[in-house]
Amino acid sequence: PQGAPLSFADIVQQVAPAVVQIEVESRVERPAGGGIQIPGFPGFVIPNPRGAEPDAEAEPETAQGAGSGFFITKDGFIVTNNHVVADAITIKVVMSDGRKLDAKLIGRDENTDLAVIKVEGDDFSFVSFEEEAKPRVGDWVVAVGNPFGLGGTATAGIVSAMSRQDPSGQSRGFVDFIQIDAAINRGNSGGPTFDIYGRVIGVNSAIISPTGGSVGIGFAIPASVAKPIT
Catalytic residues: 83, 113, 189
How far is Cα 36 from Cα 45, in angstroms, rounded to an integer? 5
DSSP codes, 204-230:
EEEE--SSSS--S-EEEEEHHHHHHH-
For residue 194, give Cα distances in angstroms to 91, 136, 178, 220: 25, 13, 12, 11
Burial (CB count within 10 angstroms: exposed 0-12, middle 13-18, buried 19+), residue 179: buried
Residue 68 is given by DSSP the state E
Q: How far apart are CA 57 and CA 68, in angstroms?
A: 34
d(CA 180, CA 188): 13
C-alpha closest to that of 226 among 196, 199, 188? 199
